Structure 1
Amino acid sequence: MQRHLIALDLDGTTLNRHSQLDAETIATLHQLERAGHVVVIVTGRPYLISQRIYDQLHLTSPMVNFNGALTHIPHQKWAGEKIAKVSRQMSLDLLDAKAELGLKTLVAEDKLHVWADHPTDMLPEFLPTTLRQDQYLNAQNLLDDPIALTIEYTPEQKQRVLNQIDQRYGQLVEPRVWGGPYEIMELIHRGIHKEDGLDHVAKFYQIERQNIIAFGDEHNDLEMLDYAGHGVAMKNAIAVIKAVADDQTEYDNDHAGVARYLKKYFKRDLADLN
């Protein structure tokens, strides 16, 4: 079988409901790398809260964070590193308009840093629960353009916030409203999707689209699955993802759905390793 690029969303896909990797997934992905395939995490998560997963998988390939806004190889300098940023001034303007717009929390991030207007226990896996003085979001600490801005908003103000962002910054950014029960949206560079990072990695390794297999479950995976030669929706995926995918896993993310699918798909490659 030809060399493949295996693109993995994390939450709801490769990780179980507890945001953990199971042993079967770790072993399967390690075997596929040994067989010569390229395993790439493609996630909406910032690098700071996904590095541990990359390290658990012992990967050496690139990683895509912030829904395509950061493509890099962790722990090393890579000439192919690609970053799409948002405006520092926009971040500070929204901070100033926090009360007016009904914003509860603002978090700005780049590859290695996070700044927030206050600590929060609302979503400890994703938002900072403690802050050093140099991590508070203000003009003195935020000196450069960040990669992304995460906003927790008051539910009844959602449409007003979206309208204001579109009017003031619509040419620069587009909001990505989180799925599930959260009142959270992310702002990244307009036009950037997971597909952009995946395409960048595929070209670096000279892997054709027909040899890209991608897994996902939520709205932010749509462009990636549509781009991949073989897009796979998780059993637990939302309907729109299942509609665009070429196939679906037999098992969900709590039952090693990705690993079990890959073991069947690459059965011959894995058998050759034994």
Structure 2
Amino acid sequence: MILIAKKLIALDLDGTTLNDKPEISEMTKQAIKAAQQDGYIVSIVTGRPNRISENFYDDLSLNTPMINFNGNLGILPHNRWELEYQYTIEKDIVMDLLEQSKQLGINLLAVEGRNMFLANHGAKSNLGFFPSVIKSDEILNQHTLTDNPISITVELQPDAKQAFIDYTETKFGDAVDVAPWGGPHPIVEVTTKGIKKSTGLKVLADYFGVSQKDIYAFGDEANDLSMISYAGHGIAMKNAIPSIKDIATDVTDYTNDQNGVAKYLRDHMDIAVGL
């Protein structure tokens, strides 16, 4: 009897699996379905919170665990999972940043958990990751913040980003990591120190019994670096930033807006795609 090694495909969402709208194209859906039929395990590993990624999980008809908040949350959407985990930040850090928000140039301060969203106010309309209108019980203060959050996200005045990073790293650097988002907005995320996408990817691989050499990870941005490095096959998108391409084992021939993941599965991994 020949045992066939299990193989895992780990998918970043924005700039990778999603096109620029952002949506999952029909070709990508077909490719992921075909990959699963061929025996690949497919999981989402994203920086997005679960509240704005479970819809894509459902679009792909997945039944595998999902990693959110850049490795800080691992869940099985719609079900219980014996390995479900989360890394959280002390509430005192949130309160300190909230109190110093004016001096630090913070426009928006939002905190999230698996079932938590609180912010100092609604977001501007061009920040699509956050609601523009929030309910009274979603306003961030010491009374509404009853649990430690998984993530702190701040949108800053353009010239305040580095000062915020310096302040947070100096005061709380032994407990948290501070990472700017990619893209045009001056947004910085604060999460538990040392936890990255590779943290969640290793949990998935161990859970499914997949060897590191049999992991295929697709990504495009700085938060994908640990995952691309960890995977035996770290695949950068054609539209990826240079530092991701530099460490990747391969680069897709097409961008995320050209069905890059689907075409890579078809052209380089012999997965049949209908379109």
Query: How big is the shift at 1:270?
Result: 4.1
What SS class does the counterpart of residue 188 from structure 1 fall into?
strand
Q: Show the counterpart of 1:53.
A: 56
Match of 2:42 among 36, 39, 43: 39
Q: Show the counterpart of 2:201.
A: 198
Say what the alpha-carbon RMSD is for the aligned residues.
Answer: 1.4
Query: How big is the shift at 1:148?
Result: 0.1
In 1, Cα distance between equivalents of 2:268 and 2:32: 13
Q: Show the counterpart of 1:256.
A: 259
What SS class does the counterpart of residue 76 from structure 1 fall into?
coil
| Superposed structure 1 runs of 4+ greater than 6 Å apart | none
2:223 is the counterpart of 1:216: no
Point out where structure 2 has 5 or more consecutive residues left out of the alignment. none
State TM-score, norm by structure 1.
0.96
Matches within 5 A, 1:57-72: 57-72=60-75
Q: Show the counterpart of 1:100.
A: 103
Deviations 1:94-126 (A, max 9, x none): 111111111111000001221000001244421
Match of 1:113 among 108, 113, 116: 116
Query: How big is the shift at 1:181?
Result: 1.0
Deviations 1:37-92 (A, max 9, x none): 11011110011011100011110001010000001110111110111111111111
In 2, Cα distance between equivalents of 1:154 and 1:3: 47
What SS class does the counterpart of residue 237 from structure 1 fall into?
coil
In 2, Cα distance between equivalents of 1:41 and 1:187: 21
In 2, Cα distance between equivalents of 1:270 and 1:122: 40
In 1, Cα distance between equivalents of 2:123 and 2:161: 20
Question: How many matched pairs?
Answer: 271
In 2, Cα distance between equivalents of 1:25 and 1:157: 39
What SS class does the counterpart of residue 189 from structure 2 fall into?
strand
In 2, Cα distance between equivalents of 1:122 and 1:244: 35
2:157 is the counterpart of 1:158: no
State TM-score, norm by structure 2.
0.95
In 2, Cα distance between equivalents of 1:117 and 1:21: 32
Deviations 1:195-250 (A, max 9, x none): 00000000000000110000011111111001000011101111111000000101
Match of 2:240 among 237, 240, 245: 237
Contact 1:116–1:128 (CA under 8 A) maintained in structure 2: no
What SS class does the counterpart of residue 109 from structure 1 fall into?
strand
Query: What one-letter code is carried by the residue in structure 2 that aligns with 1:173?
Result: V
Query: How big is the shift at 1:158?
Result: 1.8
2:59 is the counterpart of 1:28: no
What SS class does the counterpart of residue 186 from structure 1 fall into?
strand
What SS class does the counterpart of residue 184 from structure 2 fall into?
coil
Query: What one-letter code is carried by the residue in structure 2 that aligns with 1:168?
Result: K
Point out where structure 1 has 5 or more consecutive residues left out of the alignment. none
In 1, Cα distance between equivalents of 2:113 and 2:59: 22
In 1, Cα distance between equivalents of 2:134 and 2:250: 43
Query: How big is the shift at 1:260?
Result: 0.6
- Give the % identical residues: 40
Mean Cα displacement is larger for which, 14-23 or 30-39? 30-39
In 2, Cα distance between equivalents of 1:14 and 1:159: 30
Contact 2:225–2:244 (CA under 8 A) maintained in structure 1: yes
